[in-house]
Structure 1
Amino acid sequence: MRALFLLAAAAAASQAQRSFEFSLVRPAEVVAELELSSPGADWAASGREAAVADLFVDGKLNQQVMLFAGEKRYVYPVFLGTLPAGRHTVRLERNARQSARGAGFEAHAAKFRPVAPGDAGYDVLAHAPVLHAREDTISQFSDTPLLVYCERLREGGQEILQYTVIFSNEDGGTSTRALMARWGRTTDIEYVYRCFLGQAGRCARATIQAKDHKEVEFDGQRFGQHPLLTPVTRNNMLAPRPTTALRYHLAPVEIQPGIHSRERVMDLWPVTWTVMAKELQRENKLRPFGQVDGEKISDPRNYLYLDAKLKVADGAFEFLVRLKNDRRWRSSALGRADYAIARDGWIRTTIEMPPGTRIEDIEELGFACRVANPPRGAPQPVAGVCQLEQLGSLFFLTPEGVPGASLAPKATFTIPSGLTETIRVR
């Protein structure tokens, strides 16, 4: 009996930690692609949300990894920083204090990818931010960073690397209903850091998005060239310093700017949709279809998701849908002027539909132009103009809660406020 107990204890210990070795022929930034799972975990269930792993490089604590994908095996790409040539060891072990009680930890495999100066994508990786956990999210499994992406921008001849984070939710700021109407999701997508590239690929200057969405100069600490940042507001605005010990090194993905909505990045990484829905469920932010219950929303699978490229002048778009054999029109703005969309560029919105509605059930789309609400303190415009430059994809989520098959009807027009344009979907 004692022998069986010792064998079980040894097996549990081997699952709770694991080491991987790799070698570098020259100094380089290193990306570790970690295939991990969290047996028993469910982001929707309190007490079983996820395991948190401590990652050590050559015996020194380097970062934490949040296993938000749950029980299934999932590859978590993280950066280790710049390491010298030679042999290295990465050790992963379950952080018992930060992990949910019912969430186990298993490390299945690891691949290591060195990226040296001169290699493609080196600058994007070398300047990626280290994100410390927001203090009030520790052990709460809320507003967790899921993905970091980088866009190469150019302003006045200056090349800029802009880093954006997709957080699992937004505890403060925009309400859940407004997020779905204005942004087409309940994750929080925020640019966090801008590196203005200078000579030799270093940052000539850098800025962060601070409290009240103000862009301020970054003058804080770095890990190599990586800035150390911490969200400090409930809508995930940043401070240029580490304020908590828990830190994430999410390896960035490079995205071409301006060709689709920011939410399209979520579609490319469907796990973000899964975590979003589970967090809504756990935080009791869902209500039955067709009901009004404060700021709660319906099941995300009950919404039509719509992308469009807009240009407005004192105007705001309200998007409408009419189903076959139904005389009623359903609105993205829910009858509220402040939920209409009054910004240029690619946007995403949603319209709540009866459960089980399919793309082929849609008869018509409508586009109403309203006069936009002015900024605080500005006079109310008399009229506005709304231009639809391009209609993007229309889709529902699958029963599994990830983006399904889509349509992209062709439409372009300009209308003044007070008018509505309609198109047939088929």
Structure 2
Amino acid sequence: MRSRARRAVLALTGAALASAPLTVSPAHAATAPGTVNVHRGGPARSLSFTARRDGEAVIGFTASAPGVSWDRKGAEAAVVSIAVDGRHVTDLVVPSSDPTPRSLGLGRVRHGRHKVTLRFARGSASAARRVALARTRVRMPAADQVALRHAPVVIGRTEGPLNDPYQNATTDTPLIAWHETRPAATPGHRVVEYSVVWSNEDGGTDSPALMARWGRTTDIEWIYRVEVDAKGRRVDGTGVYQAPAHQTLKFTGRYEGDHPLLQTCTQNNNMCDVIAKDAPLRFLPDVTATRPAERAREVVMDREPWTYRVMAQEMVREGKIEKPSDPATPAVGDQRAYLFAEFAKTTGIPTGTGSAPGVALGVRLKSGPSRLYRSDHDQPTWSIERDGAVAGTVELPEGTAVSDIASVEALRRPVGLGDNGAPATVTSINRGFFLDAAYRPRPSGVTWSGSVTVTRERPSAVLWRP
């Protein structure tokens, strides 16, 4: 009877596969029924599930680690190692004491019964003593089997200035991932691309430019792309990955089933297909999420508000936040003082030679001195040159709310020497929000659609007024 009380069983039916709750014995629930607690120095915990067919499985739960906070040195995170049938599949970095929804891949499982083992792992911060995993469930989403089948296993960074094999438990940790598909040249084939949101990048674009040009200080990178045939099978020789210096290289590394093994090998989270020996951390993200083609990549963060909190806390802990915040300087201030905006733009045909124009956003407030706050801080290379849906931020005085904004403007600015004369047209503001006291996005209060063109002769125009 005691051994049965130590197990929890989730039967996965062939179609639903998604939402049946995992019931946990109260003997394992120190905080609440249905919560699995994994303790430092304590025994591993295990749960069982039954797969009704072969396929890729995903585990989900609400994770919290009392005493942990990503903004405090020595308390950054707890790490849980997850194995399936005795095989180490993935690690989970838990950066908060607040319950946070998380999900990870478990890899391919055969029809039948399986055991998931959860262990408190090395790499955990000294302040971390326990991880609580509530509402644990395993699913095999039928619609996403191809995407899950080819998802890369990301091996943690082991080298660089930190020279720490567990460094992704304290810096540049992978938060969430997603996939996108598009038709391949061969009829019936598809190209599947995988991207990851990292908490920050220790190298590459500096933080002020990230805020201005990308609307966040996380690092978002595509990491692997592969062509699959009509049956979802990998087409040999089509796998490529984003290598150091943002090169696209052919994948020649090792696979686990159809999962390519890639390692974070640069300070800006680019990949290598040669894996360092004995690298301890590995991450198999849940890649079932997608994004609308007409939206910026940052929308995947909007769906997971906790990612903004981790983003901001890493900046605080690493001393990258200006104190006190001052929107007159280009340094990154308190991220709760920024308007986080996403807008859509296109660049027209040049009329001469010179550099292409970018677009920055400007904000005027209802009270105080008449002043234009610019997303690019009047730095030419910080305006946004790329077209489509893009994200940026505008730093404002601390305490500013959407109700304080008088207008949001489009500002045309060439990014280099000269001006090629091309117009730029803005057609929407998809969202505009501030972060709350806990660094989570407030509801969007700025949206607009229309068509406004800025030119060399008319370099600014109002997009939105309340």
Q: TM-score, normalised on structure 2?
A: 0.82
Q: AA paired with 1:315?
A: P
Quick one: which amino acid aligns to residue 54 of structure 1? S
Query: Do structure 1's residue 289 and structure 2's residue 325 form an aligned pair?
Result: yes
Larger displacement relative to structure 2 (300-309 or 97-106): 97-106
Structure-2 separation of matches of 1:245 and 1:230: 11
Unaligned runs of at least 5 residues, structure 1 = 1-7, 375-379
Matched to 1:392, the amino acid is: N
For residue 404 of structure 1, report the CA deviation from its aligned partner.
Answer: 0.9
Are residues 72 and 423 of structure 1, via their aligned partners in 2, closer, same or farther at CA, if it must alter by over 3 Å? closer
Root-mean-square deviation (Å) = 2.3
Secondary structure of the residue that 2:434 maps to in structure 1?
A: strand
Q: Quote how far apart the aligned CAs of 1:263 are.
A: 0.9
Q: Choose which of 250, 267, 270 in structure 1 pairs with 2:302.
A: 267
2:78 touches 2:131 (CA, 8 Å); kept in 1?
Answer: no
Q: Secondary structure at the match of 1:349?
A: strand
- Give 1 or 2: higher strand fraction: 1
Which deviates more from structure 2 when the two are superposed, residues 192-201 or residues 136-145?
136-145
1:13 Cα deviation after fit: 7.0
Q: Does 1:196 align with 2:227?
A: yes
**Other structure's SS at 1:266 match:** helix
2:216 counterpart of 1:185: yes
CA distance in 1: counterparts of 2:111 and 2:149, whole angstroms: 17
What is residue 389 of structure 1 aligned with on the other side?
A: 427
Q: Partners in 2 of 1:121 and 1:296 — Cα distance? A: 42
Matches within 5 A, 1:217-366: 217-243=250-276, 244-287=279-322, 288-290=324-326, 296-313=331-348, 314-325=356-367, 326-366=369-409
Amino acid aligned to 2:105: F
Question: What's the CA shift string for 1:201-237, capped at 9, x where partnerless?
Answer: 1121111111111111112111111111111111111
Aligned to 1:39: 66
Q: What one-letter code is carried by the residue in structure 1 that aligns with 2:357?
A: G
* CA distance in 1: counterparts of 2:211 and 2:270, whole angstroms: 20
Q: How many residues align?
A: 407
Q: How many Å apart are 1:21 and its aligned residue?
A: 1.1
> Is 325-334 or 297-306 further displaced after alignment?
325-334
How far the C-alpha of 1:410 sits from its partner, in A, is 2.8
Give the alignment of 1:144-223 within 5 angstroms: 144-154=173-183, 156=185, 159-204=190-235, 205-223=238-256
Q: Partners of 1:132 and 1:11 in 2: how far apart?
A: 23
User: In 1, Cα distance between the equivalents of 2:217 and 2:139?
Assistant: 33
Contact 1:124 1:254 in 2 (8 A): no
Cα distance in 2 for residues equivalent to 1:183 and 1:13: 38
2: CA distance between counterparts of 1:368 and 1:360? 22
Q: Does 1:413 align with 2:452?
A: yes
Secondary structure of 2:49's aligned partner: strand
2:407/2:463 contact within 8 Å kept: yes
**Letter aligned with residue 139 of structure 2:** R
- Does structure 1 residue 21 correspond to structure 2 residue 48? yes
Which consecutive unaligned segments of at least 5 residues does structure 2 have? 1-29, 31-36, 349-355
- Equivalent-residue separation in structure 2 for 1:20 and 1:345 (angstroms): 45
**Which is worse superposed, 175-184 or 152-161?**
152-161
Structure 2 vs 1, CA of residues 83 and 217 (structure 1 numbering), >3 Å: closer, same or farther? Answer: same
Q: Between the two proteins, what is the percent identity of the paired residues? A: 32
8 Å CA contact retained: 2:38, 2:120: no
How far has the Cα of 1:107 moved from its partner?
Answer: 4.0
